[in-house]
Amino acid sequence: MAIKKNVLFILILAVIPFFYYPLQAQSPEISKAKHGPGMSISPGAEKAAAFPTMLGLGKKVPLIDDYYFVYNFDKRPKLGTLIIKVEIFTKEGKKDASFELKADAGMPSMKGAHETGDQPFTLSRKGDYLLPINIVMPGDWEIRLTFSKDGKVIFRGSHQFNV
């Protein structure tokens, strides 16, 4: 009788883990089938746009043929609200306010957890593009900028920083 109980106990222990593991891996196709077309499990998982790393804060970043921009923060990054300031110039050094700017910020190590989604910049009276971002926890952060002119995306770039 004791041998039967031991064998039964061992069989139960061997079978239990199979109830906790999925029977097949979830490919993007399976995920789409379960969640419907155009939907994904994590926000931004299907973004195809690349955001190359830009030159550092305060440096002239080439935009298109006759333009460049300079970006900076209003203060050293820390918890709370951080304002990103972007100034766009012609090659002659005149400010230009004819672009549309959007930015998305988040923590690369926690994709989807703190993403802001694309937020439009506000144009100040001085012709500066401004966007507040809420930094909610310490760690590595990334801001992804998208520049558009006449409805066409002309530039994408990213900047990583630590809080």
In a domain, 49, yes or no: no
Sign of torsion over alpha carbons 136, 54, 65, 126 = positive
Domain shared by 157 and 88, yes or no: yes
For 88-130, give the secondary structure using H, E and C: EEECCCCECCCCEEEEEEECHHHCCCCCCCCEECEECCCCCEE
Containing domain of residue 18, as a range? 2-35
pLDDT for the residue 49: 72
In a domain, 83, yes or no: yes
Domain shared by 68 and 11, yes or no: no
Element (H, E) at 5: helix 2-15
> Are the CB atoms for 156 and 148 separated by under 8 Å?
no
- Assess whether pLDDT exceeds 70 at residue 28: no
In a domain, 56, yes or no: no
CB atoms within 10 A of CB 22: 6
In a domain, 43, yes or no: no
Identify the bridge partners of residue 70 per DSSP, sorted by sequence position.
87
- Assess whether pLDDT exceeds 90 at residue 20: no
CA distance 113 to 91: 39
pLDDT tens for each residue of 34-79? 444 443 344 444 455 799 999 999 999 999 989 999 999 999 999 9
- Assess whether pLDDT exceeds 50 at residue 27: no
Residue 48's contacts (CB-CB under 8 Å, 6 or more residues apart) are: none
Q: Which residue has the tokens 């998305």?
A: 104
Domain shared by 155 and 95, yes or no: yes
- Res. 22 pLDDT band, cuts 50 70 90: very low
In a domain, 132, yes or no: yes
CA distance 80 to 90: 33
Quote the number of domains for the chain.
2
In a domain, 42, yes or no: no
Domain shared by 23 and 68, yes or no: no
Domain shared by 77 and 12, yes or no: no
Domain shared by 80 and 121, yes or no: yes
Amino acid residing at 120: P
pLDDT for the residue 37: 41
In a domain, 126, yes or no: yes
The residue among 112, 55, 114 whose CA lies nearest residue 82 is 114
pLDDT tens for each residue of 144-162? 999 999 999 999 999 999 9
Domain shared by 141 and 70, yes or no: yes
Identify the bridge partners of residue 152 per DSSP, sorted by sequence position.
149
pLDDT tens for each residue of 78-121? 999 999 999 999 999 999 999 999 999 999 888 878 888 899 99
- Assess whether pLDDT exceeds 50 at residue 30: no
What's the average model confidence in pLDDT over 20-24? 45
In a domain, 50, yes or no: no
